[in-house]
Chains A and B, each alone.
Chain A
Amino acid sequence: MKKRALSLLLSAACALSLVLSACGGDAAAPEASSSAPAGTETPAAAVDQTREIVFAASRDQCPGEQDAYYASMSLGVWEPLITKDESNQPAPALATSWEHNEDATVWTFHLREGVTFSNGTPFNADIVLANFDRMKKGPFESSFYGLNIDTIYPGLLSWEKTDDYTVVLTFESGQPLLDYTMVNYGSAIFEPSCFAEDGTFNGFPIGTGPYVVTENVLGQYCVIERNDNYWGTPGIAQTFRFKVIPDAETRYTALRAGEVQGLCDLGAISPSQAAEIADDPAYNVSVGESGITHFLNVNGGAFPFNDVRMREGLSLLIDRQTIIDSFYNGYGIPAGGFLSYTSAFYEEQPVTYDPERGMELIREVVGDQPVELRFLLPTVDANRYPYQEEAEYIQALLENNEGTNITVNIQLMDWGPCKEEMEAGNYSLCLKIQGLPSANPFSLFKGFLYSEGSTNITYGLGYHNDHVDELIDEAAACLDAGRLAEIYTELQEISAVDFPNIPVLYSQEVVASSSQITGYQATVYGLTGFTQVCWAE
């Protein structure tokens, strides 16, 4: 009886294993072979490029009909009027050139000729006007960047064409940096027949890009196919599938298991995972620029961080390179300034590490009196970045300062209540990331540095500088792009000595792919996208 039970159990285990082995073949088995498109001169031209390449991302790359853009710009389904070049300056895309009048109230855009949409419709001025008609029905939500005509084109009075390839925009007041706010998502162009009556999409988007959406199952995957009638250099690979795998560990295992050939989009792979496979020839890790800056926000409205010496002292105490090397596996750049290094207006600020001077300044402020600091970590960021370790490092720096009596309590908190605590001034320190909402950093400066700035208030920064307020007021009315750049430079210089918050590090975008494919690089939303990605073998 006992022997029979055991042998039954073992037989069942063997049978299950065999069944699983039989069913467990690669779902993405190679299809019939064919070569790359004629005229594609790449090292991969002799390789079968009709096989599907699978990528995984933490979120939908095609959020669907209710999203302002339907698909991420990286997919290359749609293109904007203006993109940005490698130095982050506005660069031509569907608009080849543009100019404005003296007070920047009238902007004229010259459109690219010979461009067609994936359905064969020619691109021209009427198309651009229809896109502005659609934008006026907004604002439209997006998981990438919200599409709001009032923030991208503030005070837009009219949009007209002067001929089939020239569009004129007229504004109530001057917009000297309009071309910066229009970069990429700010000037996405679609074929108007894909819009529903309310301005959302009535099906798949139709764009002028090198790929078209052919399948989309929300929350699961989307598929894009090469647009063989693309007006520019076409993509190499025929088909891409983008799977949604929200969990970072599962995503990484999917790459290791060979289920996907690459990981893409924000937080594609954690620094520790990237370090694990960086030297493995079976994988490629690519590091690119990221617009994200990690800030140590401080409660400048209360003791001790209401004293600039305390903020400066803490900044001097932090060894940013140690944080990057120890907790981010080297993926990051020490941050000295308020504005991200990917901004066209970035001015490098010194990154100073001087622990002796830092300790001295802190001692001057707090003396030997007992000081309790409340260090908040929002879970949304602590789940993606090594904030707990980083906070413990900063805690150790502050608590081990000879001659002082500082205690730091670290608290992990959901972002909603965390923000409420910050606004109420019930905190001392908080690590938080900040992205670049637009290529024009005005709203960022105003939000953080202006006395009445929304983030200054909601983060409880308590920052106030009359001269900064004057500069921001001047920038709001300034019609001279050169003067605006000067103001932005001065604001960066002031923030580097005033420390409204303490910049810790500039993020770097890390992506990974299997060495079965080639051409995949980390880029901050660029036009090349996946056109260079193809099978290597």
Chain B
Amino acid sequence: MAILQYIGRRLLMLIPVLLGISLAAFLLGRIAPGDPVDDALFRIGIEFPTEEDRAAMRTKLGLDKPLPVQYLDWLGDALHGGLGRSYTGNQDIAQELMRRLPITLKVSLAALAVAVVFGVGGGVLMVACRGTWLDTVLKALSTLLLSVPGFWLALFLITVFAEWLHLLPTSGLDRGILSLILPAVALSAANIGSTSRVTRGNILAQMGEQYIVVANAKGISQRAVMLGHAFRNSLVPIITLVGNYFGEILGGSTIIENIFAIPGLGSYVVSAIQNRDYPVIQGYVLVTGTTFVLITLAIDLLYILVNPKIRVQGGEA
């Protein structure tokens, strides 16, 4: 019961959070230099507009209204499930975002899985081989992965695995799971590096605790001590880290989706920013914000599963 109350309270907290980020997105869009009116006129065949053309388009787009009215109009529509139509292409934004969200989630979750498997696995392997050349190599590799920019790594991976080895496709999503491998690796590279280092550090810290000494004294094998006790107790900070990665991965997907020609939310918002397509940018912020908050909630619930000592008390974890 307490856990349901907790989930309910967290979901209610979504409302002020989303209001805050939608307002911030709205204001940032309007404050940023640039005007969507000329672009909108260009797309309907008016390349050299008069002031009258501009004024008419401004009215059509609703940009002649005071800023608070524009925001409240948008919010009213959003509360009724509508996010308006895009300035570019006249698309139903809600439909377009919902069409693209699963694509971005698929790529992001694949990247998260890669980060967890290789990051945590790498960290455990480093501890298991502590002090050997493999530990040194893996530490150097994790530093390298942390330092390499994602877009550069993406181009490097495409050149090696698509152009030279012909093993994986350069772009698109038409080759099933094979299409996901390179974007997922490029998106998660830095996270693999940091997760493996954090995992290594946490396990080593746990290995110095008194209960480990007791476990060793009982004659439990080194592997069982490490995986059964030290590793499990080091998971909570790693889960927190992985939860935070999701936001980074969602943000990073804007560039990676463009490089790998993935028609997800990232490529949509990049083009919207270039065209000052305000309704699309606001819709994107709303959808990704909601997704991120829900993922964070799921991560919080995971704590309870991983560590029974964490209990929901009065609705707080």
Contacts and interface: CB of A to CB of B under 8 A. Distances in A.
A5 B89 CA distance: 54
Interface string A242-271: 011111011001101111000000000000
Interface in B103-136: 125, 128-129, 132, 134
Given A253-B159, A454-B50, A146 B172 contact: no
A260 to B, nearest CB: 9
A111 interface: no
Given A221-B174, A247-B261, A141 B166 contact: no
A482 interface: no
Contact of A139 (B44, B91, B167): B44
Nearest to B99: A218
Given A220-B172, A416-B35, A256 B163 contact: yes
A453 B274 CA distance: 25
A249 to B, nearest CB: 6
A29 interface: no
Given A253-B158, A257-B162, A414-B34, A245 B261 contact: yes
Nearest to A420: B33
B42 to A, nearest CB: 7
Contact of A142 (B43, B169, B267): B43
A67 B134 CA distance: 57
A166 B171 CA distance: 49
B73 interface: no
A38 interface: no
Contacts of B316: none
Given A21-B167, A27-B174, A138 B44 contact: yes
B155 A1 contact: no
Interface string A1-45: 110011001000000010011011001000000000000000000
Given A141-B89, A257-B162, A24 B263 contact: no
B48 A454 contact: yes
A171 B14 CA distance: 59
B245 interface: no
Contacts of A147: 44-45
Contacts of A24: 165-168, 178
Given A2-B129, A5-B129, A20 B167 contact: yes
A66 B90 contact: yes
B170 interface: yes
A443 interface: yes
Contact of B33 (A219, A220, A416): A416
Contacts of A98: none
A453 B48 CA distance: 8
A379 to B, nearest CB: 9
User: Which residue, of B33, B35, B45, B165, has the highest number of chain A Cβ atoms within 10 A?
Assistant: B45
User: Which residue, of A23, A152, A446, has the highest number of chain B Cβ atoms within 10 A?
Assistant: A23
Interface string B134-172: 100000000000000000000100110111011111111
A437 B44 CA distance: 12
A277 to B, nearest CB: 12
Contacts of A204: none
A290 B18 CA distance: 47
A437 B172 contact: no
Given A67-B89, A414-B34, A140 B171 contact: no
A145 interface: yes
Contacts of B158: 249-250, 253
Interface string B59-82: 000000000000000000000000
B178 A258 contact: no
Contacts of B175: 27
A55 to B, nearest CB: 13
B32 interface: yes
Contact of A257 (B32, B38, B90, B163): B163
Given A219-B267, A256-B163, A443 B48 contact: yes
A516 B111 CA distance: 36
A444 B48 CA distance: 8
B225 to A, nearest CB: 14
A148 interface: yes
A419 B33 CA distance: 9
A257 B166 contact: yes
B239 interface: no
Interface residues of B, number: 51
Contacts of A23: 178
B49 interface: yes
A143 interface: yes
B34 A417 contact: yes
Contact of B34 (A21, A145, A257, A415): A415
B45 A145 contact: yes
A38 B111 CA distance: 51
Contacts of B267: 219, 246
B278 interface: no
A447 interface: yes
B45 A220 contact: no
B170 A143 contact: no
B248 interface: no
Contacts of A259: 162, 169-170
A220 B166 contact: no
Given A257-B166, A416-B32, A246 B261 contact: yes
A352 interface: no
A141 B33 contact: no
Contact of B171 (A254, A258, A447): A254
A416 B172 CA distance: 30
B173 interface: yes
A5 B125 contact: yes
B162 A146 contact: no
Given A21-B167, A246-B258, A250-B158, A139 B45 contact: yes
Given A219-B263, A243-B172, A249 B45 contact: no
Interface string A446-470: 1100000111001000000000000
A416 B36 CA distance: 8
Nearest to A138: B44
Interface in A127-164: 138-143, 145-148, 151-152
Nearest to B49: A454
Interface string B245-281: 0000000000000111101000100000010100000
Contacts of A145: 45
A282 interface: no
Contacts of B165: 24
A380 interface: yes
B220 interface: no
Nearest to B275: A416
B74 to A, nearest CB: 20
A146 B163 contact: no
Given A243-B172, A249-B155, A417-B33, A446 B167 contact: no
Nearest to B155: A249
A63 interface: yes
Contact of A148 (B46, B134, B173, B174): B46
10 contacts: A139-B45, A146-B43, A148-B46, A220-B261, A250-B171, A253-B158, A257-B163, A415-B34, A417-B34, A447-B48
Leading 5 A-B pairs by shortest Cβ distance? A416-B34, A146-B45, A219-B263, A148-B45, A417-B33
Given A250-B170, A253-B162, A455-B48, 10 more contacts: A5-B134, A20-B167, A66-B91, A141-B44, A141-B88, A141-B89, A219-B263, A244-B263, A415-B34, A417-B34
